[in-house]
């Protein structure tokens, strides 16, 4: 592989990473919006954490932000 090919691979990987990060950030925002709605509907953060990738403490922290 020559330097130009290597640069192109790095650029492609960076582009893919930034797109994935943007999508993950948006999904996390959607997740916290859903948590907020669930808490308003009467669920506790402990109940939400049972089926969540996040702990109750993480959910609490995110809801305060």
Q: What is the pLDDT of residues 19-49, one digit of tens each?
A: 999 999 999 999 999 999 999 999 999 999 9
pLDDT beyond 90 at 65: no
Q: How confident is the model at residue 9, as a pLDDT?
A: 97
**Alpha carbon distance 39, 48 (integer Å):** 9
Collect contacts of 38-44 with beta carbons under 8 A, ≥24 apart.
39/63
Average pLDDT of the segment spanning 3-31: 97
pLDDT bucket at 13, cuts 50 / 70 / 90: very high
């Amino acid at each position: 592989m020559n330097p130009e090919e290597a640069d192109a691979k790095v650029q492609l990987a960076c582009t893919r990473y930034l797109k994935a990060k943007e999508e993950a950030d948006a999904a996390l925002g959607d997740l916290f919006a859903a948590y907020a709605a669930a808490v308003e509907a009467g669920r506790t953060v402990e109940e939400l954490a049972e089926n969540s990738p996040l702990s109750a403490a993480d959910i609490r922290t995110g809801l305060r932000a």
